[in-house]
Structure 1
């Protein structure tokens, strides 16, 4: 899961005893799902470019909520902020629910939310969805453009949720092979794929060696970004 890469990059100097690459065996990549740039209705911006202009016109006046320091929502928006030179103040919450509630209420300007949370709120007119973090538009929010469409070129990190199956280090090869086969078979089942599609979760099976490489790359790329921008775990 992408939180593994982020947390290892952010807390590596204070939690050096934890190393997911060394302590887990990668079994398989399972799926991916985008985040949504969710904006309060009282923000006078209906596109990413309008939001950028709005934030630049009022330095330090725009704030963004997250599920907490070091969360996926926090670091994802930091990447967008760096790519667009937006001047926005981080307001960390104790969880995604309280963060989104304050976006709905208009107390904070925006939040990076899972598409599963954002979809119903956008359709109900409670928030605005300005962009998704996937490479292509989401089939469940087809009117919401991608960051790429808005001209936002981000750092070399995966801004989607990605999900992988790991096991404790040292699991027998036969067990790992059985788990890998089960993941591949499950994700190929039409009913499973339909259910995931309805949640905008894209099956993305890949074997364990590719999951291990992905995690290693994510740790390296998030470390580079976090160090370059001086992001601290407090």
Structure 2
């Protein structure tokens, strides 16, 4: 038989537990009840930053809270990612990263563990790449380039907007799957890469469609192939990479951006941020603005995004190992 003291203690414990559960539920129900800091680990004015600001505007309209963009560029996004990994896991410091998130672990010694220190929340947008060449190039399609590269190993060049970028990885995947050899010419950004490809100083470049489509449609660049699984509606006569060669049947590469939270964030907060992102991306105003940048809204759920991240990280780790890719 329990003593009166024990019974009193149990009653008080039950009351305290009830208040704790109620307080937790109230906190989750009210999220977000203060401004959210959205960390973009790249410079202001770039592709990820521009998309983040459009989506943040939509998130603010949906939630009634301010979404504050904080740019923390450097080291291919790893400086900003490291900052978020160390942040309080309360849902108010969020990472908005890109394809580099899944490439960096295979290339760099990072101050965080990409798998253990983050919770993927939602893929925000995606955009295919266009393999482009100079308008006067002798290549008219990807098959032409592959044949030439096989005939002269190490003779032809490909551009990227930096070591470890998706533009480099797409070309390296092409090399791995076809056995060709081409020389990497990295640039400090996509703009100078496009200029040199147009001028014929570099042979080809897997350019982000958002930045290169206008050059293709205006005739300043020639599209050899698109990296998506289906042809782009804007370029119906340009084959996909997978259509161009039997060895490339599984080639399917997109640049993307997405939302991450620090590990340890409560599941209900993750769910509420996911819902907020999805509602923002469903707004016609948000979709229209993203479309003008050539971006396709995605708005996946946390489980879908986590599977996508695992698949991408494994794929790029395999390419990096197979091609012995290193960065300084």
What is the TM-score with the length of structure 2 in the denominator? 0.65
The residue number in structure 2 matching 1:4 is 101
- Look up the match of 2:275: 181
Equivalent-residue separation in structure 2 for 1:100 and 1:228 (angstroms): 28
Closer, same or farther: CA 137–226 of 1 in aligned 2, 3 Å: same
Whole-angstrom CA distance in 1 between matches of 2:207 and 2:148: 20
2:256 aligned residue: 162
Secondary structure of the residue aligned to 2:116 is: helix
Contact 1:21 1:212 in 2 (8 A): no
Q: How many Å apart are 1:119 and its aligned residue? A: 0.7
Structure 2 residues without counterparts, runs of 5 or longer: 1-97
1:71 to 165, 174, 178: 165
Structure 1 equivalent of residue 181 of structure 2: 87
More RCO (CA 8 Å, sep 6+): 1
Offset from partner CA, 1:101-121 (integer Å, 9 cap, x none):
111111111111110111111
Aligned positions of 1:219-230 closer than 5 A: 219-230=313-324
User: Where does structure 1 lack aligned partners over 5 or more consecutive residues?
Assistant: none
What is the CA–CA distance in structure 2 between the aligned matches of 1:140 and 1:196, rounded to whole Å?
16
Alignment-derived partner of residue 18 in structure 1 = 112
Larger radius of gyration: 2
| Cα distance in structure 1, aligned partners of 2:289 and 2:234 | 13
Question: Are residues 154 and 4 of structure 1, via their aligned partners in 2, closer, same or farther at CA, if it must alter by over 3 Å?
Answer: farther
Cα separation, partners in 2 of 1:197 and 1:153, compared to 1, 3 Å: farther
Q: Pairwise mapping of residues 1-234 of structure 1 onto structure 2 (< 5 A)?
A: 1-11=98-108, 14-15=109-110, 17-151=111-245, 153-154=247-248, 159-234=253-328
Q: How large is the Cα RMSD of the aligned pairs?
A: 2.1
Q: Residue 20 of structure 1: CA displacement?
A: 1.9
Answer 1 or 2: which has greater helix percent. Answer: 2
CA distance in 1, matches of 2:185, 2:254: 21
Superposition deviation, residue 31 in structure 1: 2.1
CA distance in 2, matches of 1:50, 1:92: 23
Structure 2 CA distance, aligned partners of 1:155 and 1:149? 7
Cα distance change, pair 156–46 in 1 and its aligned pair in 2 (3 A)? closer
Cα distance in 2, alignment partners of residues 130 and 231 from structure 1? 25
Deviation at 1:220, TM superposition (A): 1.9
**Please, which moves more after superposition, 40-49 or 191-200?**
191-200
Moved more, 39-48 or 146-155: 146-155
Length, aligned pairs only: 231
